[in-house]
Chain A
Amino acid sequence: MSAVAARTLLSVRDLHVFLGQSHVLQGVSFDVPEGGVTALLGRNGVGKTTTLRAILGLVDRRGSVRFGADELVGMSTHRIVRRSVGYVPEDRDVFTGLTVAENLRLAERDAEPRYDLVYELFPELERRAEQRAGTLSGGQQQMVAIARALLNDNRVLLVDEPTKGLAPVLVAQVADVLERLAELTTVLLVEQNLGVVRRLARDAIVLDQGRVVHAGDAQELLAQPALLRRLLSVGTHAA
């Protein structure tokens, strides 16, 4: 579906974020084309999570984030999300005191939430509907976190390290789900696991110390170990 040069869906320009006294994002600019997966890469602490949170308005930010016809900077978080932006946060952030069903119910935004899709992808969640989310395993909590985003028809999904801390079999399962998601919508994915990136991403953006240092085709980037090492200081370990 990405044969034609895709339209730009999300356009970030000169984004700045200060947290306390540190200047975490120092003028980040990039485009996310419509459809498929765009990977946001970089070492720990370079501002990937902050970038997603800044797009969502969860941190104070300056600059511009165009989403379709809307300017998101200056808009409050819930209004941004209601423009069909889905978010799967780092560390899941499920509500541990609520049941699985309650977690999902809270996330309902559309008139007809897609429970059929959620339960097709994660049959386990239907069985565990009445279980407290706090008693779930990390992998199950990740399913809840992704399911919350799946319930609604999002134009873009911001997904933050969905495979972090998961066992290899679960990593593959999450990657399957993300692949399926990418057919339905646009995904901006923060991911450390380059195996997952290789499998899913069409475009890649690399951040370093609060700035974009590389943007281009993901597969081309992954094919250049020297460049990768320089940008990420890691080898191309396979999943």
Chain B
Amino acid sequence: MTRNRKLIFDWLWPLAVFGALALVPKLNVSVPKLFDQPISSPGTLALLSACVLYGGLALTYDLQFGFTGLLSFGHALYIALGAYLANIAITDWHWSFWPSILFTMSVALALANVLGFVSLRVGGIAFAMVTLAFAQAGAVLALKDPHHWTHGEEGLGADYTKLPKAFVGIVNTKNLYWLSLAFLAVVFFVVRWAVESSPGRIWQAIRENEQRVEVLGLRPRAYKLQSFVLSSFLAAAGGIVYMLLYSGSTLVLTQPNFTLTLLLMVVIGGAGSRWGAVLGGILYTYVNDRLIAIGNSSTVEGLPHALRTPIEQPLFLLGIIFILIVVFLPGGLAGIASRGRPSGLRRLEEAIRPGGSDGGVPEQLQESA
């Protein structure tokens, strides 16, 4: 019985959801309030592609943040790496597609190992600052463009002649949507498999209480590195999807705010919950896009200044929503379903708490020491 339930929850239910989502481009219907154009139109499909892509990217972030308790402010580095390096190999170095992808993913793996190793020398909040600094170095590199590869502020448009034909052009928007969806599905099942594996259980134990893991004779750092590397690797893959989806790479990807945006998505959806992170990514992207669309429309022109600002600057409103969720609903949207049990941010407290005076070693350990 429980075995069947597990099967249903772990495989059938997600497969059904992704299967249903895969049929979306075939829907030739209009949903007037939600989308300006019919579902199967390139415009709406492009928005939906972005939604599922961000759902996947948010989940890669949740793997290290929500499931392992690593608060990184530098996740964008790996997404940007995927988007830029693959693009540079294709467009600047004129490599063909698959070698570029292979090369990019290898570099991402190596870089995540090296930077993860260094930044995991510190824990908690210091880790957040260090990852932020490394990402900033990447952002500066992309901006200053010493080798004339990234084209600085212009961004780097991809050489579409080298890209697989199926992913080029407006007529193929539905393929790009399926690509994004495939990315989301792969991330979803990899994350599911990883967190249920025996190292994955230790990641979650580290999140709950790192010292207890240490007391068991395990080295938390090695496990944290695993989670960090897997999360970063998947993020780089997402970066490649981003590059294909937008036929290029832009500086936005490299900036610290990009990571913070992912953090917003994950917390809004529910940290440490697979569906929560995915839902957060999708909803955030959708709301952001709609607010921008409304902000550019003529109806806003007539509004008083004080009302226009929040609509024209979606991040203002989304930031406020985020704060309210942190304060009043720490489990995020997914936490609504698990009322009563500690969920989301509450569960993360142990992991990221600084080793301050009134935190730190549980007292029963002190007394028996």
**What residues of A have a CB within 8 angstroms of the CB of B363 in the complex?**
19, 24, 49-50, 53, 59
A45→B362 contact, CB < 8 A: no
Q: What 0/1 readout, one digit per residue, does chain A (192-224) give for beta carbons within 8 Å of chain B?
A: 000000000000000000000000000000000
A45→B368 contact, CB < 8 A: yes
Within 8 A of A (CB), among B331-369: 350, 358, 362-364, 366-368
Q: What 0/1 readout, one digit per residue, does chain A (13-55) give for beta carbons within 8 Å of chain B?
A: 0000001101010000000000000000000110111100100
Within 8 A of B (CB), among A84-115: 90
B364→A45 contact, CB < 8 A: yes
Closest B residue by C-beta to A22:
B364
In the complex, whether B60 has a CB less than 8 A from a CB of chain A is no
With the chains together, A117 CA to B196 CA distance in Å? 63
A49→B362 contact, CB < 8 A: no
- Out of A48, A58, A59, name the residue touching B367 (CB < 8 Å): A48
Q: What 0/1 readout, one digit per residue, does chain B (73-86) give for beta carbons within 8 Å of chain A?
A: 00000000000000
Closest A residue by C-beta to B211:
A20
Residues of B within 8 Å of A, CB-based: how many? 9
In the complex, whether B209 has a CB less than 8 A from a CB of chain A is yes
With the chains together, A10 CA to B1 CA distance in Å? 55
With the chains together, A114 CA to B347 CA distance in Å? 46
**What residues of A have a CB within 8 angstroms of the CB of B358 in the complex?**
58
**What residues of B have a CB within 8 angstroms of the CB of A53 in the complex?**
363
Closest B residue by C-beta to A44:
B368
B367→A19 contact, CB < 8 A: no
B209→A49 contact, CB < 8 A: no
**What residues of B have a CB within 8 angstroms of the CB of A59 in the complex?**
363
B209→A20 contact, CB < 8 A: yes
With the chains together, A90 CA to B369 CA distance in Å? 13
With the chains together, A24 CA to B368 CA distance in Å? 12
**What residues of B have a CB within 8 angstroms of the CB of A20 in the complex?**
209, 350, 362
Closest B residue by C-beta to A20:
B362
Within 8 A of A (CB), among B243-262: none
**What residues of A have a CB within 8 angstroms of the CB of B364 in the complex?**
19, 22, 24, 45, 50
Closest B residue by C-beta to A91:
B366
Q: How far is the CB of B215 from chain A (nearest CB, A)?
A: 12
Known: A20-B209, A58-B358. A49 touches B366 (CB 8 A): yes
**What residues of B have a CB within 8 angstroms of the CB of A49 in the complex?**
363, 366-367
With the chains together, A53 CA to B363 CA distance in Å? 10
**What residues of B have a CB within 8 angstroms of the CB of A44 in the complex?**
367-368
Q: How far is the CB of B186 from chain A (nearest CB, A)?
A: 35
**What residues of A have a CB within 8 angstroms of the CB of B366 in the complex?**
49, 90
Q: How far is the CB of A14 from chain B (nearest CB, A)?
A: 20
A45→B209 contact, CB < 8 A: no
Q: What 0/1 readout, one digit per residue, does chain B (136-177) give for beta carbons within 8 Å of chain A?
A: 000000000000000000000000000000000000000000
**What residues of B have a CB within 8 angstroms of the CB of A19 in the complex?**
362-364
With the chains together, A59 CA to B364 CA distance in Å? 12
**What residues of A have a CB within 8 angstroms of the CB of B350 in the complex?**
20
Closest A residue by C-beta to B212:
A20
With the chains together, A24 CA to B350 CA distance in Å? 18
Closest A residue by C-beta to B368:
A45
Q: How far is the CB of B41 from chain A (nearest CB, A)?
A: 53
**What residues of B have a CB within 8 angstroms of the CB of A50 in the complex?**
363-364, 367
Q: A-B pairs with the 9 shortest C-beta distances?
A: A45-B368, A45-B367, A19-B362, A44-B368, A49-B367, A20-B362, A50-B363, A19-B363, A24-B364
Could you give 10 example pairs across A and B, Cβ below 8 Å? A19-B362, A22-B362, A24-B364, A44-B368, A45-B364, A45-B367, A45-B368, A49-B367, A50-B364, A53-B363
